[in-house]
Chains A and B, each alone.
Chain A
Amino acid sequence: MTDADFAAIRLSLRVAIWATVGSLPLGLAVAWLLARRRFPGHGLLTALVHLPLVLPPVVTGYLLLLAFGTQGPIGAWLAARLGVVFAFRWTGAALACAVMAFPLMVRAIRLSLEAVDRRLEDAAATLGAAPGWVFLTITLPLIAPGVLAGAILAFAKALGEFGATITFVSNIPGETQTLPLAIYSATQTPGGEPVALRLALVSVVISLGAVLASEWLARGAARRVTRR
């Protein structure tokens, strides 16, 4: 493997990790809202969260470019106020991956939240625990395996994201060229097949490992929540 290969792998891992870790708190909050609260717009929020799953990734990437590009309303504001730039940076790739992986993460967390026996939370309340403490000491430990499974699923999805990333932040080696983009570029280059094959194998190994880990954790979560 060449330095360029390693650069693509390192970038991919960095992008996927940031995408996963960065969206985890929001994913928890949204999953909690959807699982535990009934409010006007509940259906709309569910649809919005799932939108990246059904929209063509190119559309998602284009919408991100419109909103977070240097001329976009959010992108311009962030650049001016906080100095955070997404357009054509690896951070933009992480944002695109986070958005694309978000539905998977929320879904996994929501399912594990819905599996928690609410009566355990009631019991904790009668023992003097305020709602925040109930969440931290009872709910969160019980859904932890589910949260982890959701995070791994999101991580795997982020590793493989292509359409939204290339549309939003283009295909810049060393900055936004993640594994899938590097593979795509290699297949477009005469004599690039060996590179494409190597990187494809790396992708398969990482993704397979992630999905296996996720399955294993999800089973653990089910056992833990239903165990009496």
Chain B
Amino acid sequence: MMLKSGSMAAALGAGVATLTPPAAQAAWTLNMTPGITEVSRSVYGLHMLMFWWCVGLAVAVFGFMIFSLVKYRKSQGAVPDTSIVHNTKAEIAWTVIPVIILIGMAVPATRTLIETDDASGSQLSIRVTGYQWKWGYEYLDNGVSVLSTLARDSNAARQLQSGIDPKTVPNYLLNVDHPLVVPAGVKVRLLITAQDVIHSWWVPALAIKKDAIPGFVNEAWFKIDTDKVGLYRGQCAELCGRDHGFMPIVIDVRSPADFAAWLKQQKADQDAADAAAKSAAVATS
């Protein structure tokens, strides 16, 4: 009896665990995940479509090759048919049929590409700035800004020969001090730039990767499903110097109400800090 309820609890626990957003993916991962937006699901669908096409073509081509390798061995007495030298019909067929297959791939790909490009109707704009080696986020409507750096425990463990086992650090190299807080269910626009060299802002769960280029502004948008509240992680995806591997991204997705409350509190705290700094500067000048 005890064993049974124990294992039921375990099963329930496992079931619940699959519903919550994964804090870190399990080891031996083979594939990307569908993500948390409609666009990320389209991208995942495209990826799987291409994957299965490639599997099908591989089975056909490798099957043909393996057939020949087995059946036409000299050691088994095969005699070559040296009259088979060319066949124009075959050349045309295996040019035209692949073109038709490519069209079948290009249509959904084009549709998704056009979707990703349309940031109109965004209700929130955030400027993302890449630095060597951290990210800065500024909510353009009210001036709240946040600097997001690699978490202290990860930073300590990653030092050369630190002696700290990375497995003891939660979300090793994928944790920051101040995540980017965003609302679910709202179309958010990112304006991405950099201060020094080219970086790239990538969050796999959003299927967004956009280069952060100094002196230029790139645009991206996302609308997260309303039930996908939680933390999602990404990394810089363009070599930007020594600590390119050590400037991760964490987005903290909250309900619109929670997000509004957070933003208001941040603004208040920031205004208070600015005022304190100003009066301190006046006092010492």
Whether both chains belong to one complex is answered with no
